[in-house]
Structure 1
């Protein structure tokens, strides 16, 4: 998807889909009311309401029946659903238990970022040089970034085009990537737990291109027995292609693509066979291992494409004082970033955004500082963080611990936050888009449930907002940990629980 199309689609979402939940909110759900209620015990908030109590008892029976029809209770089950405006608890069980939230962690990451920076915030990347003379950059071209999460190949091509339009025809020195805005450690915490080559486990960096991932395109050779043609997107010389595949006479294809870390970076190993009459094969995105080297190589290739001569090396280093900015780039606003991150649960974007929390223009970000900033935000939201563990920003693998009740407290706080529309719009809409496009497609839940999903082998998570049959805006969290089968198999159970909550009609 091009960025221009993404802008149009996002604007449609902001103007259209944000309205049902936010605009109908009860007038009593003002910021001061929600902040005063968050963190209070339910008993202090609920008053005698026979109709509500009858419906809550009915809901408890429905949820009990749903769980009884599944073996998910062999693991941990946590459920919490609360009226956002009044604090009345519709249902709660196992809600205080800290659990692995998987990608529900992105709810914390995106909320903390919006709170600190605001939705209009943009990330910047600058191309700098000490001296430009007669179409030549004398010395090196420096690329300095501060952690943009949505920097694409087309942006790098645009940089090269701008340089060419400014009359630059040659770079005498090297390409130097200044990624000092992040202090070391490209691999986010917890990502070392498994050695997977998928892009959801990509490293991060202050200068990162194309989600630090590549796609292989494999096309058959003209004759059987020959090696197929392999191309990469984005094109670069950093990732080494090891082509072990063959072309055979036929129409089918069976191609394997694996990225393997090396001392220098990454190699992409292509195996299998493809028929002479088969259509091209396009792999899923595969992670790279050295973000600055990869970014510099993509830039070098882009310079060549527009006719700028460059025969230097790609290095890391710090832009010198006094260097002039020759090209300046600003990212999409943060609101676009968190929308893409949450709707499609992009781990790379979440880790980039989390990392930016820990630094500023004068101080390089560290993981510890970023996690401390996120924890401080939760405290600001009135949440007791003594049982919260923030290990990384995406929720990948083990290490994070958050309870269903704490997620609901966060959701209530954000429902009356000044950036509530941007936050709520960032969530997937049941039956409409993102990771909920094909879930909860019934009349009562389609376009009514906004949520963040989370899935690991042993975790299925779903938290968000919905409006009940009686018109209540409800924040809910349904977490399953350690079920007897792969956790994704229990998504229908979660969906039925959320559907039952949506049917609350006192």
Structure 2
């Protein structure tokens, strides 16, 4: 990924026993011949060595008939496949042309380039705001003729409900589990970089993006002598205080860490750019209520269709949560908490695709308590006017062999959303087979027992998780190839 918006993600085979005979879906989709254990897909599952449970459904888009299915009514964590729901939720609720806005507001009179009052950086919830955008916003402010601010510099993040993190069960240092507010920057991550200099290390914490890398003081790092943990975090009120184990550092490297005070982070970076234009601002202060005043400058994010396409491609959790929270707030005319907002999206999905009953705890799929069945996922994908919206913005999924080499084919095409957590693997979307048949499909695999054990390990990659997910992705590919290259 570049440093632009793209950067800124022990049961045995007996667990499958109840799933190897297909169960009919209770919907308008018409089940055909049931899957028997000798079926090719069941053989792939049996040979995979994958613990836990596997469920999948493939259905003909034009007729609704089920091509194949195993355990279609088994609820499983959808992981980032949740973002397919979120994308349609945002597009239909906010509109395809909707743009998040970040504004500079003057609370007072501007005369002869001097503001006799406060300057406010007001977030609109834009999840994809990056440092380059703040540089452009500061340039726009300069072009208004403003030279001096007599009052305070305020930051406002009340456009969305503030969340300390998406999933409280995840480790503090994971950049893909950020704080969510109405004023976000660089996906609410700070860039930590280190370099050995003799017997010591030089470190930097900055808000880098494609063209700039301003240093920040709101996030601070201390290197300490210990074996573990690698990172610790403390919230010092308006400062993110990190420590890192010296033993974990090689000669040079970097890592993105979450920012827990995004509004102040955003304010500090904006003030840096304003100062470069001769506009000296006081240190940023958070304000609960947005003061009235004229808008001096505005940054508009990309239209919702482009935003959702990027989210589906790069699976950015902050984009999903901000979009979901904003969509629910728009629908009910009031900000809601994450669980309530996710429940609103689940109700919307059930109305959008009658017969489905998804259960969401967030809009990104980061929380593993969400549940969707493969059957409900396919019903959603087959619902009226869903495919014309989602198919064009979904990522193309290549067919690959066991060594991850592309399999040459000029007819089969897959567009889908992937999902991955430790011991959870999912994929759902649309496929044109080599024979020209159009399918909607969903594949969910999980070993929740192993995941629960892994959580106690306190590691980003608990023992066994990487090998499990590798086997799950390989099985996923085998099933895709079975459908894409062989399905009639």
TM bucket, shorter chain = 0.7 to 0.9
Closer, same or farther in 2 for the Cα pair 1:325/1:257, shift >3 Å?
A: farther
Alignment of 1:39-438 (within 5 A): 40-43=27-30, 61-72=39-50, 74-130=51-107, 131-188=109-166, 191-221=167-197, 224-234=198-208, 235-244=214-223, 258=231, 260-264=233-237, 265-269=239-243, 272=246, 281-321=252-292, 323-360=293-330, 363-386=334-357, 388-413=358-383, 416-417=385-386, 420-431=387-398
Q: Which of 438, 441, 453 is the matching residue for 2:406?
A: 441
Secondary structure of 2:380's partner?
helix
Q: CA deviation at 1:91?
A: 0.5
Q: Is structure 2 residue 428 aligned with structure 1 residue 458?
A: no
Corresponding residue for residue 12 of structure 1? none
Closer, same or farther in 2 for the Cα pair 1:368/1:262, shift >3 Å?
A: closer
1:430, 1:441 within 8 Å by CA — same for their partners in 2?
no
Secondary structure of 1:363's partner?
coil
2:156, 2:290 within 8 Å by CA — same for their partners in 1?
yes
Secondary structure of 1:470's partner?
coil
The whole-number CA distance in structure 2 between the counterparts of 1:192 and 1:225 is 37
Q: CA deviation at 1:274?
A: 12
The whole-number CA distance in structure 2 between the counterparts of 1:313 and 1:123 is 22
Closer, same or farther in 2 for the Cα pair 1:326/1:58, shift >3 Å?
A: same
Q: CA deviation at 1:231?
A: 4.4
1:357, 1:365 within 8 Å by CA — same for their partners in 2?
no
- What is the total number of aligned residue pairs between the two structures? 441
Cα-to-partner distance string for 1:50-84 (whole Å, 9 max, x where unaligned) = xxx6xx87997110111121222x41111100011
2:271, 2:280 within 8 Å by CA — same for their partners in 1?
no
The whole-number CA distance in structure 2 between the counterparts of 1:41 and 1:422 is 22
Corresponding residue for residue 498 of structure 1? 480
Q: Is structure 2 residue 469 aligned with structure 1 residue 488?
A: yes
The whole-number CA distance in structure 1 between the counterparts of 2:177 and 2:235 is 16
1:141, 1:174 within 8 Å by CA — same for their partners in 2?
yes
Select between 174-183 and 79-88 the one with higher mean Cα deviation: 174-183
Question: Structure 1 length as normaliser, TM-score?
Answer: 0.78
CA RMSD in angstroms, aligned pairs only: 3.3
Secondary structure of 2:220's partner?
strand
Closer, same or farther in 2 for the Cα pair 1:368/1:275, shift >3 Å?
A: closer
* Structure 2 gap segments, 5+ residues each: 7-24, 209-213, 451-463
Question: Structure 2 length as normaliser, TM-score?
Answer: 0.81
Q: CA deviation at 1:425?
A: 2.9
The whole-number CA distance in structure 2 between the counterparts of 1:172 and 1:432 is 61
The whole-number CA distance in structure 2 between the counterparts of 1:242 and 1:42 is 56
Greater share of residues in helix: 1
Corresponding residue for residue 469 of structure 1? 434
Q: CA deviation at 1:158?
A: 1.0
Q: CA deviation at 1:367?
A: 2.8
Q: CA deviation at 1:133?
A: 2.1
The whole-number CA distance in structure 2 between the counterparts of 1:453 and 1:446 is 21
Secondary structure of 1:207's partner?
coil
Closer, same or farther in 2 for the Cα pair 1:39/1:57, shift >3 Å?
A: closer
Closer, same or farther in 2 for the Cα pair 1:170/1:493, shift >3 Å?
A: same
Q: CA deviation at 1:429?
A: 1.1
Q: CA deviation at 1:424?
A: 1.7
Closer, same or farther in 2 for the Cα pair 1:270/1:372, shift >3 Å?
A: closer
Cα-to-partner distance string for 1:358-394 (whole Å, 9 max, x where unaligned) = 21395334335522431232123223344x2110011
Cα-to-partner distance string for 1:407-440 (whole Å, 9 max, x where unaligned) = 11111126x34xx45522332212399xx9x968
Q: CA deviation at 1:236?
A: 5.0
2:207, 2:216 within 8 Å by CA — same for their partners in 1?
no
The whole-number CA distance in structure 1 between the counterparts of 2:72 and 2:248 is 52
Secondary structure of 2:354's partner?
coil
Secondary structure of 2:378's partner?
helix
1:212, 1:287 within 8 Å by CA — same for their partners in 2?
yes
The whole-number CA distance in structure 1 between the counterparts of 2:316 and 2:280 is 36
